[in-house]
Chains A and B, each alone.
Chain A
Amino acid sequence: MTALSPKRLLFVSGKGGVGKSSVAAALALLYSQEKKQTLLVEVNSLGRLSSLLACPSSHIEPKLVEPYLWMLNLQFQSALREYALMVLKYEPLYRTVFENRWTQQLLHFIPSLQELVLLGKLLFHAQEKTPEGKYRFDKIIVDAPATGHITRLLSLPSVLLRTVPPGPLAQEAQWMETALQAPSTATLLVSLPTEMAVQETLELHVALQTQAHMHIPALLLNRFVPPLFEKDELQHPTLLKYPHLLPLALQHYTLAKESLDAFSHLSQLHIPVFKLPCLPSEYPARNTVSSLAAHLQKMKELL
Chain B
Amino acid sequence: MSTHPSPWPLASIEVLICVGPGGVGKTTLAAALALQGAALGRKSLVCTIDPAKRLASALGIHHLGNHEALIPLESLSRLNPSPSPAPFWAMMLDMKHAWDELISNHATPSQKTHIFNNRFYHSLSNALAGSQEYIAIEKLWELKMRRDYALLVLDTPPTASALDFLDAPSRLLGFLDTAVSKRLFMPMLAASRWGFGLWKNSNNLLLKTLSRFVGMQTLEQLSDFLLSMGQLYDGFRERAYQTQTLLQAPSTAFAIVTTPHHERISEVQHFLDTLHQRNLQVASILVNQVHLPLNPLLHEELQQLPKPLAKKMERAYVAYEQQASEDARSLQKLHALCPNIPLKTIPLLPNGSSELERLWHISQILLKHPPS
Using CB atoms and an 8 Å cutoff, list the residues of chain A in contact with chain B: 15-18, 44, 46, 48, 51-52, 84, 87-88, 93, 96-97, 101-103, 105-106, 108-109, 111-112, 114-115, 145-149, 152-153, 155-156, 159-160, 162-170, 192, 195-197, 199-200, 211, 228-229, 233, 236, 238-239, 242, 244-245, 247-252, 254, 278, 280-281, 285
B276, CB-defined interface residue at 8 Å: no
Complex-state Cα separation, A101 to B130, whole angstroms: 20
Q: Tell me which residues from 95 to 132 in chain B have a Cβ below 8 Å from any Cβ of chain A.
A: 119-120, 122-124, 126-131
Cα-based distance from A146 to B180 in the complex (angstroms): 33
Establish whether residues A244 and B306, one from each chain, have CB atoms under 8 Å apart when the complex forms: no
- On B, residues with C-beta under 8 Å from A are 21-24, 50-54, 57-58, 119-120, 122-124, 126-131, 134, 157-158, 160-161, 171-172, 174-175, 178-180, 183-184, 205-206, 209-210, 212-218, 221, 259, 261-263, 266-267, 270, 294-295, 297-298, 301-302, 304-306, 309, 312-313, 315-317, 319-320, 322-323, 326, 348, 350-351
Which of B119, B212, B294 makes the CB contact (< 8 A) with A162?
B119
Q: Nearest Cβ in chain B — how far from A243, in angstroms?
A: 8
Q: Which residue of B lies closest to A250 (CB)?
A: B350
Beta-carbon contact of B266 and A51 below 8 Å: yes
Complex: how many Å from CA A48 to CA B180? 36
Please tell me if the beta carbons of B178 and A105 are within 8 angstroms of each other in the complex. Answer: yes
A163 touching B326 in the complex, CB below 8 Å, given contacts A16-B21, A149-B161: no
**Number of A-B contacts defined by CB within 8 Å:** 204
- Closest Cβ neighbor of A167 among chain B residues: B215
- Assembly CA distance A160 to B265 (angstroms): 38
Contact B183 A102 (CB under 8 A): yes
- Asked whether, in the complex, the Cβ of A248 is within 8 Å of the Cβ of B175, the reply is no
Interface residue from A17, A169, A195 paired with B23 (Cβ < 8 Å): A17
The distance from the CB of A270 to the nearest CB of chain B, in whole angstroms, is 24
Chain B min CB distance to A264 (Å): 18
Secondary structure call for the B interface: helix
Instruction: For the complex formed, measure the closest distance between the CB of B196 and the CB atoms of chain A, giving whole angstroms.
Output: 13
Contacts of B174 in A (CB 8 A): 105, 108-109
- Out of B215, B301, B350, name the residue touching A242 (CB < 8 Å): B301
Please state if A163 and B23 are interface contacts (CB–CB under 8 Å). no
Return chain A residues, CB-CB under 8 Å to B206: 97, 102-103
> Could you tell me if A97 and B298 are in contact, using CB atoms closer than 8 angstroms?
no
A155 closest partner in B (C-beta):
B127
8 pairs of A and B residues whose beta carbons are closest in the complex: A16-B22, A17-B23, A167-B215, A148-B51, A111-B128, A16-B23, A111-B130, A242-B301
Residues of chain A lying within 8 A (CB to CB) of residue B175: 105-106, 108-109
From residue A233, how far is it (CB to closest CB) to chain B in Å?
6
25 CB < 8 A contacts A-B? A16-B22, A16-B23, A17-B22, A48-B266, A96-B205, A102-B206, A108-B175, A146-B158, A148-B50, A148-B53, A149-B157, A163-B122, A164-B214, A164-B215, A164-B218, A167-B214, A168-B213, A192-B23, A197-B23, A200-B54, A233-B309, A242-B304, A242-B305, A248-B320, A281-B262
A248 x B184 contact (CB < 8 A): no
Contacts A111-B128, A169-B218; is A46 near B123 (CB within 8 Å)?
no
Contact A46 B266 (CB under 8 A): yes
A111 touches B214 (CB 8 A): no
